[in-house]
Structure 1
Amino acid sequence: MTHLIGVDIGTGSTKGVLTTKDGEVLAIARRDHAPTFPQPGWAEMDAERDWWGDVVEVLRELTTAHPDKRIAAVCVSGLGPCVVQTDENLKPRSKAILYGVDTRATVEIDEITGRLGADAILARCGKDLSSQAIGPKLAWLRRAAGPKWQPQDRWFSAHTYVVAQLTGEWVLDHHTASQCDPFYDIQRQEWATDWVEAVLPGLALPRLVWPAEQVGIVHEAAAEATGLAQGTPVVAGTVDAWAEAFSVGVRKPGDLMLMYGSTMFFVQVLAAPTSVRGLWTTSGVERASHTLAAGMATSGIIATWLQDLTGGVPFETLVSEAAAVPAGSEGLVMLPYFSGERTPIYDPLARGVIAGLTLRHGRGHLLRATYEGIACGVRQIVAEFEAAAGQPARVVAVGGGTQGGLWTQIVSDVSGLEQQVPKQAIGAAYGDALLAAIGIGLVAPDTDWAELDHTVHPDPATAATYGTLFRTYAELYPATRRQVHRLARSVQTPDGGQ
């Protein structure tokens, strides 16, 4: 058996890929879904329907359409870090809370930081507590549950929930665990059990594994549901951005991945762990490795919002109109903080700002201003990376947003970065298939399936315009912060959610 299946649970869809051990893609399956936003600052998904249900359908499609392909192993990645608590039968207690775009746990972030100390958290965990961290989200769940809180409940991120459904095993890969601050020691790469007891006494903890480890086999019920053979090996997997970075060969110190998706995400491989205020040091994909990461709260999803707002015009039309607008969007600038912001400002009360609107501006201007605002955020974050770990040796652009070329070109023009775009555009699921192959020893650990398609170079003709735009962008947030915070607080939920 030499065929692999990788499945990625994304924010907007679940995608599965069937490959050979050499990386040849034989089939792709996809199911769309979407998060819900029941209150300002909340972002949720239904773990049974959106995570497990969609994976079942994707696996069933791949195995039914290709019954002659016996599967050597399967691996799943997912959006994250997320959290859902379940009973012993994997029945969720509530909807799953998503990654940093969900900012409901601001009170818990402040309480835990006050109790443990900001400097101590930074030194031990490699980052400050933020809306990205799982610890405060679990503390929020305890507060919301009151006397019904069950500390011995299992808790999962998207991919680990599916692994449990497939195998019955409760595991967490080291990378995802390293985003469960303040419960993971980044230096020792193990649970910080004393801090777990200090914050959530009695909290049950999953077994730690590395993303390329085999963690179990498909049991009988899962085999019947998915079409996989009972006994098929299951490899741990990890958070989608790290699986995607692995798929395009971002493995050496200095390699930086920019992921263009619903959110903009950054992963750079480190030579050694570090602790940098404002960035996230995490465990990596390969055993004992470390990465530096950052993420913007809303990026490509703003373009989707704009498309809906303008009557559902074909996206190709919007992009064509934006491409016809000159650099600088004729005096328009956007702060893309539509769900607060993660790096570089860590402000859950930040909101989107569009400045400079006139009657001559149209929807093409708004889309270009969206891309330019995101690009300014990229420039800020990459500057933070350079200060922490030196100039990136190589930048690889991935994700659906690389298609068409306009967004990536604007990012290169604003940031001055050269970006390599790989041929394979499948994403994290492709990295999952490779992890599956490595996990069962079908291929060597250093196997790399990535191939370069083209390189995006900055256009020097836009440098002056974008230099001015960036200065305006950098000034706009502090200039409007107080007023925007007042507006955000005016729609706070009774429990303090945003």
Structure 2
Amino acid sequence: MSTLLLGIDIGTYSSKGVLATPDGELLRTHVVPHGLDLPHPGWAEQDPDGVWWHDVIAICRALLDGEPYTGADVAALAVSAIGPCLVPLDAGGRPLRPGILYGIDTRATEEIQLLEDRYGAERIFRDAGMNLSSQAVGPKILWMQRHEPDLWARTARVTTASSYVTFRLTGEHVMDRHTASYFIPLFDARTQEWTDAFGFLDLGMLPRLGWSDELAGTVTPEAAMQTGLRAGTPVAVGAVDALSEAISVGAVESGDLMLMYGTTAFFILVGQELTPHPSLWNVSGAYDGQRNIAAGMATTGALTQWLRTTLLPEVSEEEAFARLFEEAAAVPAGSDGLLLLPYFSGERTPIQDPQARGVLAGLNLTHTRGHLFRAALEGIGLGIRHNLEAFRELGAPIQRIVAVGGGTRSREWLQIVSDITGVPQLLPTVTIGASYGDAFLAGLVGGAVRRDDIQRWNPPRETIAPNPGVRPIYDARFGEYRALYDQTRDIVHHLAGAAGR
């Protein structure tokens, strides 16, 4: 009898799959690395078939190779992916171009202004519950209409990464409401449904909406042949990767805040009320009736990876990070006067500035590689604090913060963030991330688990408490961090424009 739960997550630089029991026991995992295309400054793309669907097939084949498990053992599956993305499909459901990625793709800056001029920024904010930003899909649709009219003329549907994979598995066009929340100005935050109030797009081009734990469809015979799954296997609607991360660590009750240390940083605060904020994102939750307040930084793990390849290109990734974190730990709090703005791909929340760029201030000849790496970790921590303060300005109650993602493997980084923010972080037992949350969603759609079972699946194992002794240092540094952005913004915008030209 089929009892196992399959979860697959497609990330920015790799895809992960897990096979779990209904009790949450991990039986097998598999990772498929892949690349990210950056064809122009400010652009970020991936191939829907060559990366996303390829990785799903590879993961299924690896996990279900018959030693000892096969597709017949899988009771249900769910998929999450990077997002929100723009994927245009032709009438046959084939992608017309590489997927345009989430907020790290900042090509549609001009289109944001055009939409605000056309419809009114206040009206968009009122209906969508948030402002347009590089995270929004509407401006990227307008960019395609303006810059790729021939391809747009052939576009029959628009979708996102997780929904495209679910379509390949089931033949059903469906999108979770959390991801749909970013399809401004096509989503009404009040009704949590598509809206044609702006006349921006034929709503027939959009997927039907569902909640993450609902049934999207079942595996088709064609998908079964490619993946090794059993035809007829239930597939959940799924989620964007960050939402599955939150589910994976049990951040599912009002007041729970998930802090994801990934290629980017992402925050999801679970709530029940519509609470718009101009610097944050108001989005639907995973389950019926839930609303989330979300936020995201553009470069966190991507910045540490860039430093790793730049500073220690000759050694393995594992050895390089071990050395960098060891050297950073030997540097005192405040990095001996070195301050870094981590806006290497623009910034999402709370400044919402796609033209922001990295700034390194305070360098002198005594600074070392360890100083530079610690300044990067502190800069990311200061950005996290900036977002948490925006949550507090909203009056949103944060009952607990749960950390997840690849960055949680570094105790030093977690400690720096808690020291800077002054808040403890709970570290869950299982930190594998979104694919584990997807396995849980599979259990929900297959009827094998209940929502509150995630607390049993993945209880907290450790608390990272702040060190009050360094708080005065970081309080001062935070003021300087905010001032450094304000005082360099115009110059940096000019430099960003010069790089684009």
- Which residue in the other structure is 1:458 paired with? 466
Q: Please tell me the residue identity of whatever aligns with 1:244.
A: E
- Which residue in the other structure is 1:66 paired with? 68
- Which residue in the other structure is 2:257 paired with? 256
User: Separation in 2 of the partners of 1:270 and 1:233?
Assistant: 29
SS of the aligned residue for 1:131 comes to coil
Spell out, residue by residue over 1:434-472, the C-alpha distance to the aligned partner (whole angstroms, 9 max, x if none): 101111222223321221110000011111211121111
Q: Please tell me the residue identity of whatever aligns with 2:277.
A: V
- Which residue in the other structure is 2:181 paired with? 178
Structure 1 445/466 Cα, relative in aligned 2: closer, same or farther at 3 Å?
closer
Give the counterpart of 1:381 among 383, 387, 399.
387
- Which residue in the other structure is 1:164 paired with? 167
- Which residue in the other structure is 1:140 paired with? 143
Structure 1 157/66 Cα, relative in aligned 2: closer, same or farther at 3 Å?
farther
Contact 2:196–2:202 (Cα < 8 Å) also in 1: no
Structure 1 151/274 Cα, relative in aligned 2: closer, same or farther at 3 Å?
farther
- Which residue in the other structure is 2:362 paired with? 356
User: Separation in 1 of the partners of 2:414 and 2:110?
Assistant: 37
Contact 1:270–1:389 (Cα < 8 Å) also in 2: no
Give the counterpart of 1:371 among 377, 383, 388.
377
Greater CA deviation, 223-232 or 436-445?
436-445
User: Separation in 1 of the partners of 2:283 and 2:460?
Assistant: 27
CA drift of 1:150 comes to 3.0
User: Separation in 2 of the partners of 1:221 and 1:63?
Assistant: 17
Contact 1:151–1:201 (Cα < 8 Å) also in 2: no
Q: Please tell me the residue identity of whatever aligns with 2:484.
A: L
User: Separation in 2 of the partners of 1:389 and 1:53?
Assistant: 44
- Which residue in the other structure is 1:491 paired with? 499
Mapping of residues 241-390 of structure 1, within 5 Å: 241-312=242-313, 313=315, 314-390=320-396
Spell out, residue by residue over 1:184-229, the C-alpha distance to the aligned partner (whole angstroms, 9 max, x if none): 011111111222x2x2357611111111111111111111111101
Kindly indicate whether residue 472 of structure 2 is the aligned counterpart of residue 469 of structure 1. Answer: no
Structure 2 residues not aligned, in runs of 5+: none
Q: Please tell me the residue identity of whatever aligns with 2:123.
A: A
Q: Please tell me the residue identity of whatever aligns with 2:326.
A: S
CA drift of 1:34 comes to 2.3
Contact 1:151–1:204 (Cα < 8 Å) also in 2: no
Q: Please tell me the residue identity of whatever aligns with 1:179.
A: Y
SS of the aligned residue for 1:215 comes to strand
Contact 1:371–1:410 (Cα < 8 Å) also in 2: yes
User: Separation in 1 of the partners of 2:204 and 2:476?
Assistant: 51
- Which residue in the other structure is 1:226 paired with? 227
- Which residue in the other structure is 1:496 paired with? none
Contact 2:218–2:231 (Cα < 8 Å) also in 1: yes
Q: Please tell me the residue identity of whatever aligns with 2:474.
A: Y
- Which residue in the other structure is 2:22 paired with? 21
User: Separation in 1 of the partners of 2:435 and 2:136?
Assistant: 24
Kindly indicate whether residue 95 of structure 2 is the aligned counterpart of residue 89 of structure 1. Answer: no
SS of the aligned residue for 1:113 comes to helix
SS of the aligned residue for 1:490 comes to helix
- Which residue in the other structure is 2:206 paired with? 205
CA drift of 1:50 comes to 1.2
User: Separation in 2 of the partners of 1:34 and 1:359?
Assistant: 36
Greater CA deviation, 201-210 or 393-402?
201-210
Task: Give the length in aligned residue pairs.
Answer: 491
Spell out, residue by residue over 1:260-297, the C-alpha distance to the aligned partner (whole angstroms, 9 max, x if none): 01111100011311111110000000112100000011
- Which residue in the other structure is 2:153 paired with? 150
Contact 1:215–1:234 (Cα < 8 Å) also in 2: yes
Contact 2:4–2:73 (Cα < 8 Å) also in 1: yes
Contact 1:12–1:35 (Cα < 8 Å) also in 2: yes
Spell out, residue by residue over 1:417-450, the C-alpha distance to the aligned partner (whole angstroms, 9 max, x if none): 1100001011000000110111122222332122
Kindly indicate whether residue 196 of structure 2 is the aligned counterpart of residue 193 of structure 1. Answer: yes
Contact 1:215–1:235 (Cα < 8 Å) also in 2: yes
Spell out, residue by residue over 1:50-106, the C-alpha distance to the aligned partner (whole angstroms, 9 max, x if none): 100011100111111433561000100011111111223332211111100100011
User: Separation in 1 of the partners of 2:251 and 2:172?
Assistant: 29
SS of the aligned residue for 1:149 comes to helix
SS of the aligned residue for 2:345 comes to coil
- Which residue in the other structure is 1:119 paired with? 122
CA drift of 1:371 comes to 0.8
User: Separation in 2 of the partners of 1:201 and 1:189?
Assistant: 18
- Which residue in the other structure is 1:428 paired with? 434
SS of the aligned residue for 2:27 comes to strand
CA drift of 1:363 comes to 1.5
Contact 1:375–1:415 (Cα < 8 Å) also in 2: yes
CA drift of 1:402 comes to 0.7
CA drift of 1:357 comes to 1.1
Structure 1 residues not aligned, in runs of 5+: 494-498
Contact 2:196–2:203 (Cα < 8 Å) also in 1: no
Greater CA deviation, 144-153 or 366-375?
144-153
User: Separation in 1 of the partners of 2:185 and 2:210?
Assistant: 18
User: Separation in 2 of the partners of 1:150 and 1:163?
Assistant: 25
User: Separation in 2 of the partners of 1:207 and 1:9?
Assistant: 21
After TM superposition, the score normalised by the length of structure 2 is: 0.96
User: Separation in 1 of the partners of 2:195 and 2:92?
Assistant: 27
Spell out, residue by residue over 1:458-495, the C-alpha distance to the aligned partner (whole angstroms, 9 max, x if none): 011111211121111111001111111111111225xx
Contact 2:272–2:289 (Cα < 8 Å) also in 1: no
- Which residue in the other structure is 1:12 paired with? 13
CA drift of 1:148 comes to 4.3
Kindly indicate whether residue 407 of structure 2 is the aligned counterpart of residue 405 of structure 1. Answer: no
Identity rate of aligned residues, in percent? 47
Spell out, residue by residue over 1:135-188, the C-alpha distance to the aligned partner (whole angstroms, 9 max, x if none): 111111111222442375222211111111111111111111111111101111
Q: Please tell me the residue identity of whatever aligns with 1:43.
A: A
User: Separation in 2 of the partners of 1:464 and 1:8?
Assistant: 40
| RMSD over aligned Cα atoms | 1.4
Contact 2:259–2:267 (Cα < 8 Å) also in 1: yes
SS of the aligned residue for 1:446 comes to helix
Contact 1:281–1:291 (Cα < 8 Å) also in 2: yes
Contact 1:139–1:200 (Cα < 8 Å) also in 2: no
Q: Please tell me the residue identity of whatever aligns with 1:2.
A: T
